[in-house]
């Protein structure tokens, strides 16, 4: 950063905590993307169509707030830069929208009018300048990136993965708001299917065609074999704050009951639990083999998806919670739980997209 004048120094001091939070957000996000690229190198070329890496982050400190920018890094390693401007956020978004380029700062306001809450461009030309990637958003005091920088970095990665997954279907990257709209539409279709319990096969097929409903993922493997006799319906790799983890998922019909009228677990549920125990036993014996098949594999967790909440009374719901809490790496979920988790995920991702 160049030498700052006194007013700029005072402004930077005023927002030093917020700048530090955004720097932690940026550093954590960069680490997550780096882990993804090193763990799944065969995905990088396709992923770069959504975000052509490497990407640097710019934090603009303005007289009444902050602006977060991202742009394609042409100088080598990605970095986080802090800039200071005595403009207001509205004036900066209206008249400047500055992005570093090899030729100096590019003023996007010359091409994109209006203040705008969020701007995202991928592989486009503005005048004589080719822009691989640009992202600009204003940061408010209650922005999750300031309150929970590391967790927000993970949510932001998941939002980017959503864009990647949807773009693989449509062929072109989608803006973040459109990605969230598509995700919301997917949840609505899933909710409709859940209300039509007679269409059990359609529900199963829908879930297999839309594994995103099983939770955010970076890779998904369907009908994954464990030796000659065991098959997991899904194996899902997903990014957490501690790195790549793998979930092994067993799917049972939504019409299956979890409990008998006497409150005992049903044979259907017991069989599903026993299957995941068999998987865990196999994995513990052949973990070295599995590491050759699943990039970055370290340990596994297990999920059983079965039945509906409407078939569970309060006492049985407490029993499921107790069972899940008692297991270190296994959980039983209903299809309604799955939908609730997806809705919570959508809510978290939506918080990162400004109006």
pLDDT tens-place string over residues 132-189: 999 999 998 889 999 999 999 999 988 888 888 877 665 666 788 888 999 999 999 9
Q: Is 266 found in the same domain as 209?
A: yes
3-state secondary structure of 313: coil
- Single residue among 148, 170, 194 that ends a domain in this structure: 148
In a domain, 167, yes or no: no
pLDDT tens-place string over residues 15-48: 999 999 999 999 999 999 888 888 888 888 878 8
Give the tokens for residue 314: 């309060």
pLDDT for the residue numbered 169: 64
Residue numbers of the domain that contains 294: 186-350
Domain count, the chain: 2
Is this structure's pTM higher than 0.95? Answer: no
Q: Is 230 found in the same domain as 129?
A: no
Q: Is 138 found in the same domain as 192?
A: no
pLDDT for the residue numbered 2: 58
Task: Report d(CA 299, CA 21) in Å as an integer.
Answer: 31
Q: 61-70, 149-158, 161-170, 293-302: which has the minimum mean pLDDT? A: 161-170
In a domain, 168, yes or no: no
pLDDT tens-place string over residues 181-213: 999 999 999 988 887 765 567 777 888 888 889
Q: Is 319 found in the same domain as 202?
A: yes
Residue-by-residue DSSP string for 197-254:
TT-HHHHHHHHHH-GGGG---SEEEEEEEETTTEEEEEEEEEEETTEEEEEEEEE--T
Task: Report d(CA 39, CA 325) in Å as an integer.
Answer: 31
Task: Report d(CA 299, CA 280) in Å as an integer.
Answer: 10
CATH of residue 224: 3.40.91
């Amino acid at each position: 950063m160049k030498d700052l004048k006194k007013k700029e120094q005072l402004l930077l001091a005023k927002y030093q905590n917020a700048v530090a939070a955004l720097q932690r957000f940026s550093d954590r996000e960069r680490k997550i993307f780096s882990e993804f690229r090193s763990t799944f190198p065969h995905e990088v070329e396709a992923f770069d169509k959504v975000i052509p890496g490497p990407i640097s982050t710019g934090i603009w400190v303005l007289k009444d707030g902050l602006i977060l920018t991202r742009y394609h890094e042409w100088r080598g390693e990605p970095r986080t830069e802090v800039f200071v401007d005595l403009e207001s956020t509205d004036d900066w978004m209206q008249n400047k929208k500055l992005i570093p380029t090899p030729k100096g700062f590019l003023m996007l306001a010359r091409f994109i009018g209006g203040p705008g809450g969020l701007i995202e461009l991928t592989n486009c030309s503005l005048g004589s300048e080719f822009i691989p990637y640009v992202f600009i958003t204003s940061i408010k005091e209650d922005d999750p990136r300031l309150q929970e920088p590391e967790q927000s970095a993970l949510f932001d990665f998941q939002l980017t993965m959503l864009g990647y997954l949807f773009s693989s279907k449509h062929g072109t990257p989608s803006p973040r708001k459109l990605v969230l709209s598509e995700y919301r539409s997917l949840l609505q279709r899933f909710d409709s299917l859940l209300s039509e319990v007679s269409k059990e096969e359609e529900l199963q097929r829908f879930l297999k065609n839309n594994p995103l409903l099983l939770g955010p993922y970076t890779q998904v493997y369907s009908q994954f074999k464990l030796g000659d006799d065991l098959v997991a319906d899904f194996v899902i790799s997903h990014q957490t704050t501690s790195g790549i983890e793998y979930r092994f998922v067993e799917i049972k019909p939504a019409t299956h009951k979890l409990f008998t009228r006497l409150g005992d677990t049903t044979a259907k549920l017991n069989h599903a639990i026993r299957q995941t125990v068999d998987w865990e036993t196999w994995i513990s014996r052949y973990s070295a083999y599995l590491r050759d098949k699943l990039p970055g594999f370290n340990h596994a967790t297990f999920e059983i998806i079965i039945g509906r909440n409407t078939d569970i009374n309060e006492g049985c719901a407490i029993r499921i919670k107790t069972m899940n809490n008692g297991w270190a790496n296994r959980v039983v979920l209903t299809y309604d739980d799955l939908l609730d988790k997806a809705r919570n995920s959508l809510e978290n991702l939506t918080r990162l997209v400004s109006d």
